[in-house]
Chains A and B, each alone.
Chain A
Amino acid sequence: MKHYHKRHIWYQLFISLFFSLFLAFTLFAYLFGEEETIELPPIYFLYLILIYIGIEVISVVYILLKWHFTTYELTDDAIVLKKGIIYKHKKTLPFSKIHAIDYKQNIIEKLFRIKKLSIDSGATVNADIAEIIIIEDSNRVEQLIKEIQLKRDSNYNEHLII
């Protein structure tokens, strides 16, 4: 089983940085208020710092664990994706049932040279669980698409030969 590309962790941390700034601004906004209206004892400042550090540590640990517990594998006849820290989810998509393969890359992902490859099974009930998402290096994604197409074709040819 393979993990997503390591740069995905940096990408996630970068995204979480924006939320950290927003959180910091929300928590410490009172510092920039007028002195007459907001006056909190200094111990509250310490509490806020502890809360802020706590949230940050939890989010970093969550990102690392999420990366660690998300793995994928291309077997002979299917793509297998395992994910979930507490709730474990294993998804198996046979090559013969692949409906569409496409990749997405936003501007920040471009900066980190990663691409999001989504493999759709065509199940329309719940779009989120209907597709397998693999986040890899830009070049590796191209390679993966070829690999998947090759395996899908060889599966089909195998049926015809037999």
Chain B
Amino acid sequence: MEFKKLQKKVCYYWIIKRFIFLVILAIGYVLGIHYVTTEFKLLVIVPGALFLLISLINTFIFPFLQIKVYQYFIDDEKIIISYGVLFRVPIVQIQDISSFQGPIQIGFKISSIIISTARSNVVIKSIDHLLAREIVEDIQKKIHKRLMKENKDEALS
């Protein structure tokens, strides 16, 4: 079983996405310090700084760790997505497939695939948009093939 890894550009996409959030947070923090009255200043400075620090780590360190851990596998029977937690989706249980592209993802030519089952949604995060299209078509074919096999077995029995 050979797992596929995400491309490196996904890492840069995550950094940019989180950096935008970080900038908004930093602006809010600075404004907070500036406008809050002195007696409440400590209440804003300490938790705000902690939150900023966590966001900073989340922006510049986590993406590199995430990309190392994140991997997926697709065969005729199942889809497995692993990023610390392991998600296993049997092909037969897939109800529909969606692909999603945000404005930054369009710039990086990447998109996410959302696989819906009756129970949950599983997301293959940010892969090359051409590959995503291929995967969607491939999964569709696999569903078709699997159903064909099931119906054939049913008819024979």
* Chain A interface residues (CB < 8 Å from chain B): 77-78, 84, 86-94, 96-97, 99, 121-126, 129-130, 155-156, 158-160, 162
Size category, B interface: 20 to 34
Checking A88, A130, A160 against B101 with a beta-carbon cut-off of 8 angstroms, the contacting residue is: A88
Query: By the criterion CB–CB under 8 Å, are B143 and A97 in contact?
Result: yes
Q: Which residues of B contact A (CB under 8 A)?
A: 94-103, 106, 111, 114, 116-121, 136, 140, 143-144, 147-148, 150-152, 155
**Inter-subunit contact A77/B98 (CB<8 Å):** no
Q: Hey, which chain B residues are within 8 Å of A162, CB to CB?
A: 148, 152
Contacts of B120 in A (CB 8 A): 125
Main secondary structure on A side of the interface with B: mixed
Residues of B within 8 A of A155 (CB): 144
Contacting A156 at CB < 8 Å: which of B111, B143, B151?
B151
Q: Let me know if A96 and B144 touch, CB within 8 A.
A: yes
CA–CA, A47 and B99, complex, Å: 42
The verdict on A130 contacting B96 (CB below 8 Å), with A92-B140, A97-B143 known, is yes
> How distant is A96 from chain B, measured CB to nearest CB, in Å?
5
Selected A-B contacts with CB under 8 Å, 27 pairs: A78-B140, A86-B102, A87-B100, A87-B102, A88-B101, A88-B102, A88-B111, A89-B98, A90-B136, A91-B96, A91-B97, A91-B98, A93-B95, A94-B140, A94-B144, A97-B94, A97-B95, A97-B143, A121-B96, A122-B118, A123-B116, A125-B119, A129-B116, A130-B95, A130-B116, A159-B150, A159-B151
